[in-house]
Amino acid sequence: MVKAEIIVIGSGIAALKTALEASEHKHVILITKSNIRHSNSYLAQGGIAAAISDRDRVSLHKKDTLAAGQRYNKVKAVEKLVEEAPLVIAELIQSGMQFDHDDDGTLMLGMEGAHSERRILHSHGDATGKYIMEHLIACLKNSTITVMENTTAVELIIGKDDSCIGVKTLDKAGELVIYHAEQTVLATGGCGSLYHFNSNSQTVSGDGIALAFKVGAKVRDMEFIQFHPTLLFINGKAEGLVSEAVRGDGAILVTERGRPIMEGVHSLKDLAPRHIVAQTIFSYLQRGEKVFLDISMIKDFKKRFPTVSSLCEKSGLDLQFGKIPVAPGNHFLMGGIEVNEWGQTSVPSLYAVGEVACTGVHGANRLASNSLLEGLVFGNSLGHLLAKLPARSIPEEKEQSKDSCHFLSLPDFEALQEKLMNEAGIVRNEAGLARLKDFLETFNMEKLLQMEVTELSIKEIKIINAMIVAWLIAESALTRTESRGGHFRSDYPCEDDGQWLEDSVILACTDVKNRVKGRRLYEHIEA
């Protein structure tokens, strides 16, 4: 058994920022199931938003965030995000982070969908996430933080006082290692790789959400999933992300014959909020029409977008024709583990930060380039909080009965990906969501929720966690009988402010039976 004051599970921007700030006064162990460079943050092509130009205002950044979120956001969380953005960016630059500059030496600020001003900072064109992460990893090497790579968190440990006291893990060889901690932080990312078409790192499969739900943490807004409009689409497969910054530089979405598809759909056309663009592209694909991103008007495309260019070339696409075939896919989860502004979950001494957490900052749809910002802002404040917490005695582990894993039957992970994409994807309805939920419950979800996972392989645990998260998505999407943001139901195609603007779907329960029944709780959202 290993002891620490703080354990952070994850390796993205939120995990690293939290760990770095907490390590100023605490012993921190950072645990990641792969290596430290495998995260969505590292893959992020888009930039990071902050109102730092003379033309921009924090109030405008707030307004844009609320508009993209379909007014469903928690206003206090949004205010925290946009007000602290300039400060965390300034601190990042002061610590040595290099962002792109114009020829005159001023910071280069880009435009992306649903932003009213140019406020997107980039690094090396479309490799912002990679270079921010490399900067933080360099800081990590100069800290006292212990990093445990290839270590998979498989079960949170609950003490006799019902607080979280650490985590059980399996190392690369499948050996069980137990970590006890005064405070435990989940920063495991969203659940993007559960979908057949996605832009995510394949390590991002919803583990943290499942771990938290199994120990009683409240989970909310799981129906709100952002599908990025433009994934490179070759021979029926999504090969990677084509950054929204490409459209920000003037590229437009067209049919094979060159007809612009966003004309007349939204006043912002190709820079409309992502759910609108994704749904529009999807409607064309359903009719059998291919959609392309016309980049012919962008000068020096390979220099401006080296990551996208490399992706296209590796996939055998010749960019000289000026068109990139695209399709939408899972990109970001707005919901997750319910937390307050300091990252505290409903389980004492268990915190969540980044995409795995739901602060309410994104509402029903995330504004472009607010995700890296969220990791920095909320990771910063959580790290500061953890650094100042008084020491606590770790209680003994609470005894809990677990089911044996004999005769375990599980679906193929790929089959689950297909079902999620088909039944709980860009366009949903009651029949499809019910089919998904019924399929999952044939595998005895009640038993899976109380399985003794330390007897299982890492592959089996991944599938079980994926099934739990898929069930949460299906239940949440069935419950919300309207369309809003990233949640579009063809049988309820309109927003219903009277019922749903101030109500959220929160799944929480006190026993396994209620979890599988999906007891639906509603909580008032701050105006």
Question: Which active-site residues does the annotation give?
Answer: 274
Task: Copy the structure tokens of residue 83.
Answer: 């007000």
- Phi/psi at 352 (5° precision): -145, 145
SS3 string, 270-301, reads HHCCHHHHHHHHHHHHHCCCCEEEECCCCCCH
On whether the CB atoms of residues 321 and 287 are closer than 8 A, the answer is no
- Order across the sheet with 520-524: list the strands: 357-358, 336-338, 219-220, 503-507, 520-524
Contact 373, 49 (CB under 8 A): yes
Q: In angstroms, what CA-CA distances link 337 with 350, 352, 401?
A: 11, 7, 24
Spatial CB neighbours of 287, under 8 Å, sequence gap ≥ 6: none
- CA-to-CA dists, residue 180 to 28, 157, 434, angstroms: 12, 8, 40
DSSP 433-458: HHHHHHHHHTT-HHHHHTB-GGGS-H
Both tokens assigned to 98: 């290099």
CA angle 257, 489, 357 (to 5 degrees): 105
- In three-state secondary structure terms, 87 is helix
Inter-residue contact 485 to 224 (CB < 8 Å): yes
| Beta bridge mates, 121 | 48, 109
Give the phi and the psi of residue 415 in degrees, each rounded to 5. -65, -40
Cα–Cα separations (whole angstroms), residue 157 to 6, 166, 305, 397, 490? 14, 5, 45, 7, 41
Tokens describing residue 426: 């860009």
Query: Is the backbone of residue 351 left (phi > 0), alpha (psi -120 to 50) or beta?
Result: beta
Element (H, E) at 506: strand 503-507
Q: How far apart are CA 404 and CA 398, in angstroms?
A: 18
